[in-house]
Amino acid sequence: MRFRSACILFSCFLLTGPPFSFARPNRSRARVIDSSYSSALAAANRFLHAWQTQDHETGIMMLTDVARQQVSSDKLQEFFSPTDQAAYEIQRGRRMNGAEYVFPVVLFGTMQDSPPRPCRLVIMRTAKDEWVVNRLP
């Protein structure tokens, strides 16, 4: 009889749930959606996709004049000519100021048998409200 009563009480306890929980309460701050961030991330993705697919024209058109002047045309040609196994990984970016974001990226397959190359991609907004690459990775 005692055993039966204990089983019934235990079953009721399981059905109603324990009065406490070991789960950590959710204390995360509400994330603010930044439309500038998503636009900058999309531009970074477009640029790196142009690099991956060896689309020289699209990639070079996304560069600022300052970025184009920092490297020779031979270096640009070399940059936009990765191997067939080219791939990239974009990590969480951060805002540098109101119109500029920096995204850490890893480039794979930049040259034959080369290790992955970690670098940074700087994306900025122009006066025409376009996102461009201000510094090559």
- Domain at 101, CATH number: 3.10.450.50
Q: How many structural domains is the chain composed of?
A: 1
Length of the chain counted residue by residue: 137
78 in any annotated domain: yes
116 in any annotated domain: yes
Contact 14, 103 (CB under 8 A): no
Tell me whether strands 87-90 and 94-97 are parallel, antiparallel or unpaired.
Answer: unpaired
CA nearest 43: which of 70, 63, 57?
A: 63
For residue range 110-125, list pLDDT tens digits in order. 877 788 999 999 999 9
Domain that holds residue 66: 32-135
For residue range 14-64, list pLDDT tens digits in order. 555 555 555 566 665 656 667 799 999 999 999 999 999 999 999 999 999
Residue indicated by tokens 């324990």: 18
